[in-house]
Amino acid sequence: MAAKKKSAPKTGMAFLKGKTVLVTGGTGTFGRAFVARLLKEPVGKIIVFSRDELKQSQLQHMYLREKRLRFFIGDIRDRERLNRAFHGVNIVVHAAALKQVPATEYNPTEAIKTNIIGTQNVIDAAIDAGVEKVLLVSSDKAVQPINLYGATKLAAEKLSVAANAYSGGGVTAISVIRYGNVIGSRGSFIELLRTQRASGVITLTHENMTRFWITIERVMDIVLQSLQVMKGGEIFVPKMKNLPVADVIKLLTPECKVELIGVRPGEKLHEVLITEYEAPRTKDIGFAFAIKPEFTFGSNRTAWLDKKPSAEKDFIYASDNPMYRLTSKEAAKILTL
């Protein structure tokens, strides 16, 4: 008898059937991709929550016949608006943030108001409204941050994980997903290559710089899988591979000259997704790594992770680790202009 063929892991799923899902920052790169993905799933309603009415209008025109879509203009700084928007919502994916490193360095109070206080507003409104699941979209820059954007994302992660302690016996579970560079997203290095290619010169800050790389499609898979299994308090980290930025330039724009311009303020040579302090609390759950919180909540929501295998000894999840290097074939498949 022939061996049974293993079925591919599910990504959509029954848990979404009939649910109302709200996406903060729903008109950004992540939000638009997530809306498109959710429309392929059996959700009951999708609410796009953002403060940009032009982008909302553009998104509406893309889905004129889609009856499951709703649009809320609002700012996560406005707690009352969140209270209204979250009424009857089952799942919140929180992607709204100020993300540009130079802009947040120059406007620190604005970054704090949106990324930290805004996240606290989302948490409080979700708990008060009885939202079942909240997933914060974080960043690799939250790990050992050296710029304000990273520091605000670290604070947002801490707020989200700790909130499971004071949500008490309520229904709301709050978790985090943390990942690196999304290929081709707005403001990404790949977008910069597209812009600079015509000039024949590509700027590179340092010849030894490395980064993790992931496609937006893969991010969507991990987000849905994380939503499916989360119990509250986990930090989910996709299994990503790395490559030197200089190698990306050679692959995608081999005809161009490279101009070294020096490392910019707030920029790291290498990115870290899981620190040495988090490694002992890191579990391998197949489609991703999951970091357990430092403390247990009354209900010990993350006990399900105890049965999962721990990360390898001396686990270092950094973009300069050759163990996680993209092969030439893998790089050519996912890195395109």
Residues with a catalytic annotation lie at: 141
**77's tokens:** 């700084």
With a CB cutoff of 8 Å and minimum separation 6, the contacts of 249 are: 193, 202, 204, 256, 258
CA distance 7 to 322: 30
Q: Which single residue is written with the structure tokens 């709204």?
A: 96
Query: What's the rounded Cα separation, in Å, for the pair 301 and 165?
Result: 10
Instruction: Quote the tokens at residue 84.
Output: 């209204």
Q: Which DSSP letter does residue 310 get? A: B
Query: Cα 127 from chain centroid?
Result: 21
C-alpha–C-alpha distance, residues 310 and 191, integer Å? 37
Sign of CA dihedral 188, 190, 191, 196: positive
Q: Which residues share a beta bridge with 257?
A: 201
Cα separation of 120 and 160, whole Å?
Answer: 8
Terminal CA-to-CA distance of the chain, rounded, Å? 46
Distance between CA atoms of 74 and 83, rounded to whole angstroms? 11
